[in-house]
Amino acid sequence: MADAHFEANNVLDILRERGFVQQVTNDDRVRSQLASGRVTYYVGFDPTAPSLHVGSMVPLMAMAHLARAGHRPIAVLGGGTTMIGDPSGRSELRQVMAVEQIQANRSQIEPQVRRFLAAASDAIVVDNAEWLIPLNYLEFLRDIGRHFSVNRMLAAEAYKLRLEKGLSFIEFNYQLLQAYDFLVLWRRHGCTLQMGGDDQWGNMLAGTDLIRRLHQEDVQALTFPLIQTASGAKMGKTAAGAVWLAADRTSPFDFFQYFVNVDDRDVGRFLRLLTFLPLPEIARLEALVGAELREAKRVLAHEITAIVHGLAAADAARSAALAAFGGVAGGDRSVPTYSVTAGELQGGLKVVDLLAAAGLAASKSAARRLVEQGGVKLGDRRIASVSDTVSVSDVADEGTLLHAGKKHLRRIVRA
């Protein structure tokens, strides 16, 4: 029964060693399934924004590991389910999104997802709107809805919060739709494994149950731990908002910097989850202590940036960071730039205005505070007063770094 190739390096072991596994419906089943041949598996992504953010990296990496092991991935972009909104683990009613917005988001996200499926030549990317939109309500209730127990759904952990705060009927249907997705994928593509974040556990089980009831078929589900940083925050949240995978929302440089700045305690875990580095190598990096650990963080940042933005961008971000934080005057080309015109400089551009315009401060008031707190530096010059201005001589030909605090900077160049 077992296929030698798949048997020899069971991906389940890889996932487990790297910390991807939170819950599995049936460990032995998943293991033997993955050992006996190609498995078609799926993960869903809801296009609620024009880009995925680093929070989606865990499922994407898991998909990539399976693809590398020779299994067949299906990425479901939830154009249909997003019209409903998943209430799992949420405390508030999700805002209903415009269909056009969802479709626009979907087309932006698709290439981001595909990047992780490259190892499988026959990877499938589908939008569940394709089968959800044509659904006939009465037929759906009769054929699918009958298999769901409201009592059991209400008892689910995922709805606890919402039972106190309020759960609308539309959201209550989300689980049925996700279960139906699994059924469709099983019927069409023989998909027998669904993976997803642990908050999806209930929805995923609904799918395996549905397939068992309708077809007496034993399909599986596996969840990933929800990643929090050591300080308890959701991974990928910063002052500027989420850390996005799209380069035009989070520059490769800032993306790189996010990972250089992670908490010491997160380094090993992130290396295992978010890079493909072999475990012995990770063990070595993770064992570094004190300031040495920064080297591990640089490796982490470089690896992830390479996966998301490509090797060239990762190299550029790394050298830019070294230059910027190593004291190279004009910084490196890859530090995000902001151009000022000669006219603005002639007129005596206020540093406070520049900070706000370059995106280093949320408002002029915020910029003013930064200056007052002594956090602003233009080149080597510490800005001492909120009324300081930038003149032509302050901006070198190769650009001058404007620092807002220790970690945020822009390269100011003349237009």
Partner RNA sequence: GGAGGGGUUCCCGAGCGGUCAAAGGGAACAGACUGUAAAUCUGUCGCCACUGGCUUCGAAGGUUCGAAUCCUUCCCCCUCCA
Map the footprint of RNA across residues 79-118, applying CB under 7 A: 93
CA distance 84 to 298: 40
| Widest distance between CA atoms in the chain | 79
- Other C-beta atoms within 10 Å of 330: how many? 19
175 within 8 A of 147, measured Cβ to Cβ:
no
Identified binder of RNA from the candidate list 36, 149, 261, 346, rule CB under 7 A: 261
CA 324/CA 320 separation, integer angstroms = 6
- Three-state SS sequence of 93-124: CCCCCCHHHHHHHHHHHHHHHHHHHCCCCCCE
Rounded Cα distance, 413 and 352, in Å:
17
Residues 308-337 that bind RNA (CB under 7 A): 321-322, 325
- Choose the binding region for RNA from 203-211, 245-253, 259-267, 308-316 (rule: CB under 7 A): 259-267
Binding mask 373-412 for RNA (x = CB under 7 A): xxx-----------x----------------xxxxx----
Least gap, CB of 21 to RNA (angstroms): 26
Among 123, 293, 328, 357, indicate the residue that binds RNA (CB under 7 A): 293
The DSSP element (H or E) to which 352 belongs, if any, is helix 351-357
Taking CB under 7 A as the criterion, which residues in 10-49 touch RNA? none
Q: Which parts of 359-378 interact with RNA (CB under 7 A)?
A: 362-366, 368-370, 373-375
Min separation Cβ 12 and RNA, Å: 32
The label of the residue with tokens 């924004």 reads 49
Asked if residue 290 binds RNA (CB under 7 A), the reply is yes
- To which residue do tokens 């026959």 refer? 122
Give the total of residues touching RNA (CB under 7 A): 47
In the complex, the smallest distance separating the C-beta of residue 219 from RNA, rounded to whole angstroms, is: 34
Rounded Cα distance, 414 and 217, in Å: 66
Choose the binding region for RNA from 25-33, 131-139, 188-196, 233-241 (rule: CB under 7 A).
233-241
Quickly tell me which residue has 């395996």 as its tokens.
208
- Residues of this chain that interact with RNA (CB under 7 A) are 93, 163-168, 230-231, 233, 238-239, 257, 260-264, 289-291, 293-294, 297-298, 321-322, 325, 352, 356, 362-366, 368-370, 373-375, 387, 404-408
